[in-house]
Chains A and B, each alone.
Chain A
């Protein structure tokens, strides 16, 4: 009798086959098998669902802003009132009152409109911030920016890391030495400190060298900074895998048959590291979203007034007592996104290669 199927069984293909029609599956691709394993991991699938929902919601930010909230992410509504359940409420109210006769001020607290939960016709669903801006709109636009940076930097980082790892692992010798020493050089700096230093320096004047012109406020700055500082974290483990594959018979056979280096690297080696790269890609998106949040929180990422989840938390700090939603809402969004990506990434790793120990190490 066959052993009960588990996610981590070494002979999963045979077990799965036995479970289904008790007929061995012949010739099924590793991707198909991985998908079979993944779809049994409900937690990973649920996490993917959560991430897709967040991604969709953020992608629809302009639609929500235009048709529901009727405001932009940076528009202030300081002296305005909103009808909540038929009652008019100040977006920003209270504050000290000046008595012209006595010349004195009477101190009163400033009140910020809290979440209206759809009782104001879609306006200020998650309340207002200290500048009278719609938090829900800024949350969605902030998420859009954070995800753009997270996914964009993951793409760039993974691309360069894989190319460099293939070159280093395949050619070895001085090529490997130069590339690995470059990785070491970047690795020697604490990742967040290096990112802060680069982000701060570039955020003042932007980047205008080598024919590349990036303005100071551009999202490209945090995207490229994060990509750059994380290249070794993906590149080194992938290079290790390429080094081990380089010794395999199929590579020797390819060399023997007269295939050139480019063809071997991209037709023979790359498909064999694709599963690892895919897992790295998923995990590094989560990591990059966190790095972006950290950078923006410290003022070295997305520039105000443009929102990102990191700078929304930073801006909400001062009102943490009177308006805790300003920090809680983006904080929860970051947790949900990162958690969902990490759980999905782990599930993907288990499905693609259960023996792999792929993780981002800082």
Chain B
């Protein structure tokens, strides 16, 4: 090649390289523009100011309210978790601390997990595979509210009988070097993966005492909790050791300041005045319309059932006719207006309509005269009844109406109110012999077992912290639930069987279900992208300002 030719070749290569670089750069700029354009309309959240009415605890092995979990599911990760997406996709289980979904043995009794590499707590300490077993043990040691979910793990029942810090649950083996966890079940459970996704099973550092630690246990999620004051609130700051995954985002807010305000009017006013961005507290029914015009009202549909339970072991509710009469007497439609300004659907079902097993029941048409006759026929006229409820405005309203209805059909009803902190433990104590009262259930995980097994399986009645407030136990129903527990997939046939179980229970009428509530979530008009996660409510990690 001549000297001139070499120069020509070199210049051509350089020109091609420059042209290619320009093309790449131009594509990159164009691509960035395309992606950035919609973002220009949204501003970073910075500090999100939220109002909750209350939290019970901010300790993963103790907390058992929707409000606590709303905050905590972005603080403590579990082996498996749920997707940060709107709609039914939010029910899909995805790996959390686990690198992937587990392998499950053919008999459904052995689950094998492997943790993601390099996970650290918010204090910088490494997450160990053995921390999972420690968390389950801590739940038993602390008599946490969710320990009942884990008693089917092999050796858990024996451990629960004599829990000690040095004890072992034989069904859980962990290899810290290999980051593996193996869980062996005493008997298969169709809903076990969803149970592992509950915050009760969130690993915590070994050595954390069983005493309640509100917010100050090192976190594995994108945020950590600081400054909890039961009368004021707490804050959530970024966990600098957190590494986002495909399914667990880093989160938009740099900080979340949570105020705890029980008074519905004050909570609403905080948002109206702009001193809070968001409130998930109740909005007084007569203020909903005006609140809508002064802010952004998002109606969140979630799986819940509000009901009045009747203790089938205590007179007069030990008589079927009395329980059925109560079901006839309640004006479910009127209750929706009274209690939440119409933002609820009347129901006679235990399961909410979001479940594939749901089959609408219409057993008790509102008929007060018939109810009165049934009470007289049952010989229960004038029977003393104590209605139990908790000191929260919606529960008080519903219970006052219920008391009035019981009196109108011939019973002699009085109301007893308890502080919200002690309500469920009091009525869940067998010795209390509570006759009837208010209750609600919001799903822990999307499976019929979370309703029928937890709330109405007679085999699960315990002396304390009982969830079956009606003390309902029907041998046929119990065995049907136990049998359905083994079914891992909700096929059409399985759903039919669940629907049959539900109908049997409602014919026995231990409950008078009355509402599937829609939750009003209230934002300032400045909030932009608002996303709802079906299980955990407003997904605040994805919020942005306009």
Interface set of A (CB-CB < 8 Å, partner B): 74-76, 78-79, 92, 94-98, 104-105, 107-112, 130-132, 204, 216-217, 299, 303-305, 317-323
B2-38 residues at the A interface, CB under 8 angstroms: none
B337 x A318 contact (CB < 8 A): no
| Residues from chain B with Cβ under 8 Å of A299 in the complex | 391, 417
Main secondary structure of the interface of A (DSSP, over half): loop
Taken together as a complex, chains A and B put the C-alpha atoms of A43 and B499 apart, in Å, by: 73
**Other 12 A-B pairs with CB < 8 A, given A109-B286, A303-B417:** A75-B404, A98-B345, A104-B299, A107-B288, A130-B397, A217-B414, A217-B416, A303-B416, A304-B400, A318-B284, A318-B286, A321-B287
| Residues from chain B with Cβ under 8 Å of A321 in the complex | 265, 286-287, 290
| Residues from chain A with Cβ under 8 Å of B290 in the complex | 109, 321
> Would you list 14 pairs from A and B whose C-beta atoms are within 8 A, ordered by A residue?
A74-B400, A92-B337, A95-B336, A98-B342, A105-B299, A105-B518, A107-B288, A110-B337, A130-B338, A130-B397, A131-B401, A304-B400, A305-B400, A321-B286
Binary CB contact string for chain B from 387 to 408 against chain A (1 if under 8 A, 0 otherwise): 0000101001100110111011
Supposing A217-B415, A317-B265 touch, asked if A110 and B403 sit within 8 A by C-beta, the answer is no
| Residues from chain B with Cβ under 8 Å of A94 in the complex | 337, 341-342
Main secondary structure of the interface of B (DSSP, over half): helix
Taken together as a complex, chains A and B put the C-alpha atoms of A109 and B288 apart, in Å, by: 6
Which of the residues B288, B401, B415, B416 comes within 8 Å of A78, measured between beta carbons? B401
B320 contacts chain A at the CB level, 8 A cutoff: no
Taken together as a complex, chains A and B put the C-alpha atoms of A217 and B414 apart, in Å, by: 8
B297 contacts chain A at the CB level, 8 A cutoff: yes
Taken together as a complex, chains A and B put the C-alpha atoms of A204 and B285 apart, in Å, by: 29
| Residues from chain A with Cβ under 8 Å of B333 in the complex | 79
Interface set of B (CB-CB < 8 Å, partner A): 263-265, 284-290, 292, 297, 299, 331, 333-338, 341-343, 345, 391, 393, 396-397, 400-401, 403-405, 407-408, 414-418, 518
Closest to B422 in A: A204
| Residues from chain A with Cβ under 8 Å of B407 in the complex | 74-75
Taken together as a complex, chains A and B put the C-alpha atoms of A98 and B340 apart, in Å, by: 13
A-B contact count (CB 8 A): 112
Q: Which of B285, B341, B408 has the most CB atoms of chain A within a 10 A radius of its CB?
A: B285
Closest to A322 in B: B286
A318 x B265 contact (CB < 8 A): yes
A78 x B289 contact (CB < 8 A): no
| Residues from chain A with Cβ under 8 Å of B288 in the complex | 96, 107, 109-110
Supposing A96-B342, A98-B342 touch, asked if A109 and B289 sit within 8 A by C-beta, the answer is yes
Taken together as a complex, chains A and B put the C-alpha atoms of A105 and B400 apart, in Å, by: 26
Supposing A78-B331, A105-B518 touch, asked if A323 and B286 sit within 8 A by C-beta, the answer is yes
| Residues from chain B with Cβ under 8 Å of A303 in the complex | 415-417
Q: Closest Cβ of chain B: how far from A284's Cβ, in Å?
A: 29
Q: Which of B263, B342, B414 has the most CB atoms of chain A within a 10 A radius of its CB?
A: B342
| Residues from chain B with Cβ under 8 Å of A204 in the complex | 416, 418
Supposing A131-B397, A320-B265 touch, asked if A107 and B417 sit within 8 A by C-beta, the answer is no
B343 x A96 contact (CB < 8 A): yes
Taken together as a complex, chains A and B put the C-alpha atoms of A318 and B393 apart, in Å, by: 9
Supposing A96-B288, A130-B285, A318-B265 touch, asked if A110 and B342 sit within 8 A by C-beta, the answer is yes
| Residues from chain B with Cβ under 8 Å of A111 in the complex | 286
Taken together as a complex, chains A and B put the C-alpha atoms of A304 and B396 apart, in Å, by: 8
Supposing A95-B342, A96-B342, A131-B404 touch, asked if A319 and B337 sit within 8 A by C-beta, the answer is no
B391 x A75 contact (CB < 8 A): no
Q: Which of A79, A105, A217, A319 has the most CB atoms of chain B within a 10 A radius of its CB?
A: A105
| Residues from chain A with Cβ under 8 Å of B408 in the complex | 75
Which of the residues A108, A217, A323 comes within 8 Å of B342, measured between beta carbons? A108
Closest to A320 in B: B265
Taken together as a complex, chains A and B put the C-alpha atoms of A299 and B343 apart, in Å, by: 27
Which of the residues A75, A107, A217, A322 comes within 8 Å of B297, measured between beta carbons? A107
Q: Which of B265, B341, B408 has the most CB atoms of chain A within a 10 A radius of its CB?
A: B341
| Residues from chain B with Cβ under 8 Å of A108 in the complex | 289, 342
Q: Closest Cβ of chain B: how far from A167's Cβ, in Å?
A: 39
B337 x A131 contact (CB < 8 A): no
A95 x B285 contact (CB < 8 A): yes
Supposing A131-B404, A318-B284, A319-B284 touch, asked if A105 and B331 sit within 8 A by C-beta, the answer is no
| Residues from chain B with Cβ under 8 Å of A109 in the complex | 286-290, 341
Q: Closest Cβ of chain B: how far from A9's Cβ, in Å?
A: 53
| Residues from chain B with Cβ under 8 Å of A97 in the complex | 342
A78 x B338 contact (CB < 8 A): yes
A95 x B264 contact (CB < 8 A): no
A76 x B289 contact (CB < 8 A): no
Which of the residues A105, A130, A319, A320 comes within 8 Å of B343, measured between beta carbons? A105
6 closest residue pairs by CB, A with B: A95-B342, A96-B342, A109-B289, A322-B286, A95-B337, A78-B334
Q: Closest Cβ of chain B: how far from A93's Cβ, in Å?
A: 8
A304 x B286 contact (CB < 8 A): no
Q: Closest Cβ of chain B: how far from A35's Cβ, in Å?
A: 45
| Residues from chain A with Cβ under 8 Å of B343 in the complex | 96, 105, 107
Taken together as a complex, chains A and B put the C-alpha atoms of A204 and B518 apart, in Å, by: 32
| Residues from chain A with Cβ under 8 Å of B297 in the complex | 107
| Residues from chain B with Cβ under 8 Å of A217 in the complex | 414-416
Q: Closest Cβ of chain B: how far from A341's Cβ, in Å?
A: 30
Taken together as a complex, chains A and B put the C-alpha atoms of A258 and B397 apart, in Å, by: 66
Taken together as a complex, chains A and B put the C-alpha atoms of A105 and B337 apart, in Å, by: 13
Closest to A109 in B: B289
| Residues from chain B with Cβ under 8 Å of A304 in the complex | 396, 400, 415, 417
Taken together as a complex, chains A and B put the C-alpha atoms of A287 and B50 apart, in Å, by: 41
Q: Closest Cβ of chain A: how far from B99's Cβ, in Å?
A: 39
| Residues from chain B with Cβ under 8 Å of A305 in the complex | 400, 403-404, 415
| Residues from chain B with Cβ under 8 Å of A92 in the complex | 334, 337-338
| Residues from chain B with Cβ under 8 Å of A110 in the complex | 285-286, 288, 337, 341-342
| Residues from chain B with Cβ under 8 Å of A131 in the complex | 338, 397, 400-401, 404
Which of the residues B396, B404, B417 comes within 8 Å of A74, measured between beta carbons? B404
Supposing A96-B343, A131-B338 touch, asked if A318 and B264 sit within 8 A by C-beta, the answer is yes
